[in-house]
């Protein structure tokens, strides 16, 4: 091979290598750009679907809350229960009928209920608005029994009486005779036509979409049933069933309790992207879905744009390289100066290709980290001339505090081949421009380079800042509402104190006059009369004790706390001395191990112990021996868990939620004395100490009351 052929071969290999490098760079940059776009687009789709699903969940939860609020107006109204009792006793009384029907009419006229029905405890319809035949009304059955036994409002599920009948649901409200031992009176049911509001609420979609829709589903055995009508299918509500074991079905996954974003195949066999959420306090789940073809149409379009652009660039590069090769062949025998001129033309062409890229492009040497190649957009964004850009270090346009982070990313590029990072470039005018930078390792002509592209993410950062501001405004509004609530609570406590205080004077008069009447007229009263006088005196004294406890409860909310280190062992012993009159001649086995020191107000904590120990002594009255234990049960979030346990009469667990309420009693007064304020005071004091209270127990098997307190700084809560 002669020198000319050798030179041609070497020149050809050089041009081929340059073309492959340039082509690889164009393909890599296009691929990185598309991947970056696709990742951001998918994240945005997931975020929007999650937001829409969240809105739907909030709307449905609010709708259920409003329905329960409507029902609570009746449930918490003793006057309405008395009216129903009068009607059931005198069903032919026209005045009672008119008043009761007026109440029920308001729910259909102003609150949009389809009908309101009163049934007795046997399930017979006693009144309905509008009037309907018993043959067309669905019996409440188990829902009515559940509502009466639990003494709670029950919302029935969506259902059809027959395959062709309309879909309906009802709110079941139990009624009780509070003046006759809380005996059940009957049921008020508020019937809802979901087609009037619920289904339109589910159907609404906040953005324009050809395929978006919302499904309300619930699990039925091994299947999932759709509860609403769908956009592209008819007669689906309570008719369309989907197998639960179809893992690609969003409806099936939602019914199994899965939440989040998933891609799957819907009941039409069409690929979709869906947000799955469960609806709180209901058997329902929600699926917000859009056809995948609609969602990913922009990414497909963007992919084709990039493919066409890369093809054009490669074609241009190939054509340019062919032209240069042809020129090089003609000038092969020319002087070296002509060769350098051709190389300069090649570089100009490469620069033209880079300048057409949609993002900034740069090429740094390694390990010198000096800039040797860049596109025009890089100059434009930073505001420097080409001469000013040349040979700059990779960290020259970065904030000093991120230099180490940038160098770590560079090393990751050189060792792993690729890396990405978010950083802000400093323009010549001092402005910070946020970028998402992606780098890849490139080797050519025996030289360790790293090449990268950067996407301007200023708009994304601006959107994130707007979200941060909105969150801050929301926190401010929550703070303001909290302050308003605290002010209202203080006003309510003051009102309670005033009312309780004003009740003392007339009560003292009643006791005084009963006492004088007894002394002066006792000989003239019959045995029944003396019994009546004793009943009045006992009731008045009980009322006085109730007022005293109510005043103490009201003062407890306003009393200033004086937190200090409290020796809990001594506090227990002092409290036991105070209740010696209650334990005198009682056979009580006490179990009190050494207890840790806590941080709190000694007087308030002594009142907590007094109330809990008083209850333990009182409710073990029928036990011989009685067993009462005071101890610790580990820790909870750094706080010590204390408990008071007894083997007394216990309580029904289904009423646990009532234990700590004001005036809440689970036993009759003739069985065990008390006013129902002690445990409410316990909860208020422990809450003011930052802890919480709860109880466990069962009928005739004793009870355990728990509360948490902060340990003293000298106490290890784990010991």
Q: What is the pLDDT of residues 119-172, one digit of tens each?
A: 988 888 899 998 876 555 566 778 888 888 888 999 888 888 777 778 888 999
Distance, CA of 719 to CA of 712 (rounded, Å): 13
For residue 717, what pLDDT is reported?
Answer: 44
List beta partners, residue 176.
Answer: 184
Q: Give the span between the Cα atoms of 151 and 84, in whole angstroms.
A: 17
Rg (CA), the chain: 40
The residue to which tokens 């691929």 are assigned: 31
Against a cut of 0.75, is the pTM above it? no
With CA atoms as reference, report the closest residue to 284 among 237, 246, 248. 237
pLDDT averages per 10-residue partition of the chain, 719 residues: 56 72 77 77 82 86 88 88 90 91 89 90 89 64 84 87 80 89 90 87 84 88 87 80 85 87 86 89 88 80 77 73 68 58 65 70 81 79 83 84 87 84 83 81 74 73 80 81 68 61 66 76 77 72 60 58 89 89 88 94 88 90 92 94 94 82 52 62 88 92 94 61
d(CA 51, CA 72) in angstroms, rounded, equals 31
Alpha carbon distance 291, 272 (integer Å): 4
Please, where are the H alpha helices in 331-402? 336-355, 376-382, 386-389
Of 288, 172, 164, 289, nearest to 238 by C-alpha is: 164
Question: Taking a C-beta distance cutoff of 8 angstroms, is the pair 258, 279 a contact?
Answer: no
Residue 558 three-state SS: helix
Q: Summarize pLDDT for 31-61 with one digit per residue, the tens.
A: 777 777 777 877 888 888 888 888 888 888 8
For residue 565, what pLDDT is reported? 94
Q: Is the distance from CB of 262 to CB of 250 less than 8 angstroms?
A: yes
**Dist. CA 39–CA 58, nearest whole Å:** 28
**Residue burial 625-648, b: 16+ Cβ < 10 Å; e: rest:** ebbbbbebeeeeeebbbbbbbbbb
H, E, C per residue of 480-536 = HHHHHHHHHHHHHHHHHHHHHHHHHHHHHHHHHHHHHHHHHHHHHCCHHHHHHHHHH
Residue with tokens 């589910």: 202
124 CB contacts (<8 Å, ≥6 apart)?
134
d(CA 501, CA 497): 6
Give CA separation, 184 vs 82, 128, 179, in Å. Answer: 12, 19, 11
* pLDDT of 492: 57
User: Rounded to 5, what percent of the chain is helix, strand, coil?
Assistant: 50, 20, 30
Q: Residue 141, SS3?
A: coil
> How far apart, in Å, do the first and last CA atoms of the chain sit?
90
Strand order in the sheet with 639-646: 588-591, 626-636, 639-646, 703-709, 693-697
Q: What pLDDT digit, counting tens, does each position of 366-392 carry? A: 888 888 877 777 778 888 888 888 888
**Residue whose tokens read 């006490």:** 590
- pLDDT for 570 equals 94
CA 480 to chain CA mean position, Å: 21
- The reported pLDDT for the residue numbered 111 is 86
């Amino acid at each position: 091979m002669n020198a000319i052929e050798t030179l041609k071969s070497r020149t050809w290999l050089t041009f081929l290598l340059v073309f492959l490098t340039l082509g690889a760079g164009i393909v890599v940059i296009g691929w990185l750009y598309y991947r970056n776009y696709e990742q951001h687009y998918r994240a945005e789709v997931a975020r929007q679907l999650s937001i829409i699903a969240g809105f739907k969940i909030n709307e449905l939860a609010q709708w259920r809350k409003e329905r329960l609020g409507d029902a609570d107006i009746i449930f918490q109204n003793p006057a309405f229960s008395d009216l129903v009792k009068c009607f059931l006793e005198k069903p032919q009384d026209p005045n009672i009928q008119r008043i009761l029907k007026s109440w029920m009419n308001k729910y259909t006229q102003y609150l949009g209920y389809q009908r309101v029905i009163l049934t007795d405890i046997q399930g017979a319809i006693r009144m309905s608005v509008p009037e309907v035949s018993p043959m067309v009304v669905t019996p409440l059955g188990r829902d009515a029994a559940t509502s009466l036994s639990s003494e709670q409002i029950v919302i029935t599920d969506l259902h059809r009486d027959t395959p062709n009948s309309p879909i309906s649901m009802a709110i079941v409200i139990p009624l009780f005779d509070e003046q006759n031992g809380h005996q059940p009176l009957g049921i008020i049911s508020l019937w809802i036509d979901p087609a009037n509001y619920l289904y339109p609420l589910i159907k609404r979609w906040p953005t324009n979409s050809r395929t978006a829709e919302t499904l309300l589903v619930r699990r039925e055995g091994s299947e999932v049933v759709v509860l609403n009508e769908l956009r592209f299918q008819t007669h689906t509500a309570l008719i369309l069933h989907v197998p639960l074991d179809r893992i690609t079905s969003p409806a099936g996954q939602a019914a199994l309790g899965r939440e989040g974003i998933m891609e799957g195949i819907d009941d039409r066999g069409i690929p979709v992207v869906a947000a799955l959420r469960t609806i709180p306090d209901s058997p329902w789940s929600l699926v917000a879905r859009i056809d995948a073809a609609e969602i990913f149409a922009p990414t497909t379009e963007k992919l084709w744009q990039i493919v066409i652009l890369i093809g054009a660039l490669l074609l241009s590069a190939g054509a340019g390289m062919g032209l240069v090769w042809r020129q090089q062949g003609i000038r092969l025998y020319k002087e070296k100066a002509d060769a350098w001129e051709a190389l300069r033309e090649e570089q100009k062409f490469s620069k033209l290709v880079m300048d057409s890229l949609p993002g900034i492009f740069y090429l740094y040497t390694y390990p010198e980290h000096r800039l040797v190649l860049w596109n025009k957009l890089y100059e434009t964004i930073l505001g420097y001339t080409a001469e000013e850009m040349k040979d700059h270090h990779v960290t020259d346009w970065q904030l000093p505090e991120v230099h180490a982070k940038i160098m770590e990313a560079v090393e990751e590029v050189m060792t792993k081949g690729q890396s990405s990072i978010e950083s802000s470039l400093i323009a010549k005018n001092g402005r910070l421009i946020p970028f998402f930078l992606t780098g890849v390792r490139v080797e050519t002509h025996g030289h360790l380079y790293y090449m990268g592209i950067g996407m301007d993410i200023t708009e994304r950062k601006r959107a994130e800042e707007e979200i941060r501001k909105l969150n801050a405004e929301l926190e401010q509004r929550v703070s303001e509402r909290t302050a308003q609530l605290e002010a209202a609570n203080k006003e309510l406590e003051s009102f309670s104190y005033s009312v309780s205080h004003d009740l003392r004077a007339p009560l003292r008069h009643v006791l005084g006059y009963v006492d004088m009447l007894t002394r002066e007229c006792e000989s003239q009263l019959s045995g029944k009369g003396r019994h009546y006088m004793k009943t009045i005196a006992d009731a008045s004294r009980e009322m006085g004790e109730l007022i005293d406890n109510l005043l103490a409860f009201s003062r407890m909310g306003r009393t200033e706390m004086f937190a200090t280190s409290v020796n809990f062992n001594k506090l227990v012993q002092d409290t036991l001395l105070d209740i010696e009159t209650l334990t005198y001649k009682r056979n009580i086995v006490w179990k009190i191990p050494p207890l840790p020191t806590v941080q709190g107000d000694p007087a308030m904590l002594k009142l907590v112990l007094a109330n809990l120990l008083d209850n333990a002594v009182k409710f073990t009255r029928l036990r011989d021996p009685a067993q009462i234990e005071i101890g610790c049960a580990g820790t909870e979030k750094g706080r010590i868990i204390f408990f008071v346990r007894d083997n007394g009469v216990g309580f029904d667990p289904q009423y646990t939620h009532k234990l700590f309420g004001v005036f809440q009693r689970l036993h009759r007064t003739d069985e065990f004395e008390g006013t129902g304020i002690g445990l409410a005071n316990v909860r208020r004091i422990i809450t003011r100490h930052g802890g919480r209270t709860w109880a466990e127990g069962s009928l005739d098997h004793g009870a355990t009351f728990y509360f948490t307190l902060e340990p003293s700084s000298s106490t290890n809560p784990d010991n």
